[in-house]
Amino acid sequence: MSDTIWVLVELENGQPARSSLEVLGKAAQLGRAQAIVLGSNAAQVAPTLGEYGAAKVYVHDDAVYDTYLTLPAVDTISNLLKQHQPALFMLATTYDLRDIAARLNVRHNMGLITDATDLQFDGDTLQVTVPWGGENVVTATFPKQGTGIVLTRPKAFGLERLEGKTAEIETLSPALNAESQKMKILDRVEVQSEGPSLEDASVIVSGGRGLGKAENFHLVEELAAALGGAAGATRAIVDAGWLPYSYQIGQTGKTVKPTLYIACGISGAIQHLAGMKGSKYIVAINRDEHAPIFSVADFGVVGDALTILPQLTAEVKKRKAQ
């Protein structure tokens, strides 16, 4: 069996996404890692991918991948799959890469495993670890021949850089299909938020249904601001329309690993725990003493977040001023 592993490296403003480089590093531990990089500036990026584990890089520097969603990338990778048969195709779980994976899965009748947190080969058998629900962890594999796709959970692997390591470069010149230039990106809007982003924050204060109503969410934001952190939310209150999707922490939404996570009025649904369990210290405030959030909390308070939050914000400000 081939020990070649492909990794699609996503570009963000012309630079390789950290999430993709983490996956590339993992692929290099498992076998012969080959990166695919498509889009404007891909030719500049390609030689640097050796330092992150790529033995070879397939590159197509073309703005078509930046202008049109999904399909041009699917076509190019599909052509490449007709010429080569890697053992595995790994992608980070991001908005754009998920869409590409979903189509390739069907076009090439591949096996596909999502949300993986670890992979290893036991002889010829690939074992993929997938946390499932709060209680179970599943080990899955591809029993049939052919390339399997694995999408990995954000932040599952660390970033490694081997300075000076180089990669073989192969420049692709695929025929571009006009039919695939359908989903046109007209503009990109960055929404500025105050303070650190959820991904970068070392402190996150987040709120759930226990806050009662959307108007109470400012209590969470005020504590986050006092601690120099970011505010987050559960899927339940995002679904209820209190906050935009960008606040959502959980299996859907963002996976966060801050130093401190303060959960306010959050019961601890499995889907939420999946996104924040990796936090170093977890503090929970909830009225229900049986709430699952207490099973992961380092420090828990059974009480009303609406009463405690303003007191805690005041206490934090007072102690910080001392």
Give yes or no for a contact between 307 and 219, defined as CB atoms under 8 angstroms apart.
Answer: no
Three-state DSSP at 206 gives strand
DSSP 274-293: HHHTT-SEEEEEES-TT-GG
Residue 87, CA distances (Å) to 6, 7, 31, 122 in order: 8, 11, 9, 14
Binding test (CB under 8 A) with another protein, winner from 144, 158, 173, 321: 144
Q: Which is nearer to another protein, 172 or 260 (CB)?
A: 260
Instruction: Please identify, among the stretches 21-29, 47-55, 56-64, 257-265, the one whose residues bind another protein according to the rule CB under 8 A.
Output: 257-265
Three-state DSSP at 232 gives strand
Binding test (CB under 8 A) with another protein, winner from 143, 158, 163, 194: 143
Tell whether residue 215 is a contact of another protein (CB under 8 A): no
Binding test (CB under 8 A) with another protein, winner from 123, 136, 175, 194: 136
Tell whether residue 241 is a contact of another protein (CB under 8 A): yes
Tell whether residue 138 is a contact of another protein (CB under 8 A): yes
Tell whether residue 212 is a contact of another protein (CB under 8 A): no
Binding test (CB under 8 A) with another protein, winner from 40, 41, 94, 166: 94
Whose tokens are 């596909």? That residue is: 112
Q: Which two tokens stand for residue 206?
A: 């987040």
What residues between 299 and 318 interact with another protein by CB under 8 A?
Answer: 299-304, 307-308, 311-312, 314-316
Residue 306, CA distances (Å) to 51, 207, 237, 244, 310 in order: 49, 11, 16, 21, 7
Q: How far is the CB of 288 from another protein (least distance, A)?
A: 12
Tell whether residue 113 is a contact of another protein (CB under 8 A): yes
Residue 304's nearest CA partner among 288, 283, 292 is 288
Site string for another protein, 146-175 (x = CB under 8 A): --x---------------------------
Binding test (CB under 8 A) with another protein, winner from 61, 99, 160, 221: 99
Largest CA distance in the chain: 66
Tell whether residue 82 is a contact of another protein (CB under 8 A): no
